Amino acid sequence: MKFKIVSKGDERSNKIKATMKQYLTEFDLVYDKETPDLVISVGGDGTFLEAFHRYVHRLEHTAFVGVHTGHLGFYADWTPDELEKLIIEIAKTPFQVVEYPLLEVTIRAESGGKEDRFLALNEAMIKTADGSVVFDVDIKGEHFETFRGDGLCVSTPSGSTAYNKALGGGIIHPSLEVIQLTEMASINNRVFRTIGSPLILPKHHTCLLKPVVNRSFLIAIDHFTTNYTNVKSIQCRVAEERVRFARFKPFPFWNRVRDSFVSEDDNRV
Ligand code: NAP
Ligand code: MN
């Protein structure tokens, strides 16, 4: 089996990377940056996002696992104390794989019919540097509302605990193949009206955002923001592709939510 390790780059993460690389090669696994079967991220959820985007072109052939060197992560859910166990588990391959849904974003620009397609593991955020965004929001080909406000966030189920949560979105179990649309400070008065609640869209219910006033947007796909001009439309839907996680121990999603946001102690009395 071929593996690659992506480190956050700090001393602690680099040390863990070196240890894992050494032991796994001793177990006859092959270090291969180009076509790894397993990508190990060492750092935080941010490092995991980076690792995901580095291998986003070959998701079908890649499984991911994350070791956290900071606080507990949603993607990076192995601790440095468990390193030995993880190394042995990896060396014992084949491993179990769990798949989570992704968000597909297609940005179409006015000039030259340019089209950019992205996959997001957490979310897409659409904002502007000048004033409010104004979009006609179509859902499944029908006009739903005209949105005015700071912006919109469209998240995946596994990204629902990230930016989406800060916007008051719901936490969604990743076994559900959906995307969630949350508002960032919408303007609501007698003239402008939006739904005001997060919307959860199933597969094939495409959401299309069509700019009404400004056409320049800051579009963030996970941790990476790009400035787009002359935007004609931004299409969001559940992607056909999925992300594959290598699972070596059970760590249910709701336990991760509890341990990250409620309490790490077992608070039953
Ligand atoms: P960052 O500023 O380090 O990320 C902000 C925090 O979000 C970090 O604590 C990060 O964990 C955590 N995070 C990332 N993905 C998560 C997930 N799926 N569930 C729960 N927490 C998650 O920036 P970054 O590390 O490059 O990560 C980019 C992501 O951060 C974006 O996709 C966005 O969702 C999120 N973010 C959230 C807020 C907010 O909640 N107000 C603001 C900005 C960005 P680590 O420390 O382990 O990296
Ligand atoms: Mn981070």
Mean pLDDT score of the chain, rounded to an integer?
Answer: 95
What is the mean pLDDT of the segment spanning 138-153?
97
Give me the pLDDT at residue 252, please: 93
pLDDT of residue 223: 96
Strand pairing category for 133-139 and 207-211? antiparallel
- What is the sign of the dihedral through the CA atoms of 202, 115, 50 and 263? negative
How many degrees, rounded to 5, is the angle at CA 22 between CA 21 and CA 26? 115
Judge if the beta carbon of residue 41 lies within 6 A of ligand 1. no
Q: Which CATH fold would you assign to the domain 2-95+248-267? A: Rossmann fold (3.40.50)
CATH topology of domain 101-240: Tumour Suppressor Smad4 (2.60.200)
Contacts of 245 (CB under 8 A, 6+ apart): 63, 64, 65, 75, 97, 98, 99, 100
Q: Ligand 1: distance of its center to the CA of 14 in Å?
A: 21
Dump pLDDT digits (tens) for 191-232. 889 999 999 999 999 999 999 988 899 999 999 999 999 999
Give domain limits for the chain: 2-95+248-267, 101-240
* pLDDT for residue 266: 60
Active site residues: 45
Where does the pLDDT of residue 265 fall: very low under 50, low under 70, confident under 90, or very high at 90 and above?
A: low
HSE (side-chain half, CA atoms, 13 Å) at 157: 19
Helix (H, G, I), strand (E, B) or coil at 168: coil
Longest CA span, the chain: 69
Q: Looking at the predicted structure, is the pLDDT value of residue 268 above 80? A: no
Q: Tens digit of pLDDT for each residue in 67-121?
A: 999 888 899 989 999 999 999 999 987 899 999 999 999 999 887 778 999 999 9
pLDDT score for 72:
85
Q: 222 CB under 6 A from ligand 1? A: yes
Mutating to test ligand 1, I would choose from 45, 221, 262 the residue with most ligand atoms within 8 A of its C-beta, which is: 45
| Closest ligand to Cα 164 | 1
Q: Rounded CA gap, 2 and 85, in Å? A: 19
Percent of the residues in the chain that have a pLDDT greater than 90, as a whole number:
88
Sole residue written with tokens 């760590």:
251
pLDDT at 80: 94
| pLDDT at residue number 71 | 87
Q: Which atom of ligand 1 sits closest to the CA of residue 222? A: 32
Per-residue pLDDT band at 2 (split at 50, 70, 90): very high
What is the tens place of the pLDDT at every residue in 15-63?
Answer: 999 999 999 999 999 999 999 999 999 999 999 999 999 999 999 999 9
Tell me, yes or no, if the two domains 2-95+248-267 and 101-240 fold the same way: no
Q: Is pTM, for the whole model, over 0.85?
A: yes
* Residue 258 assigned to a binding site: no
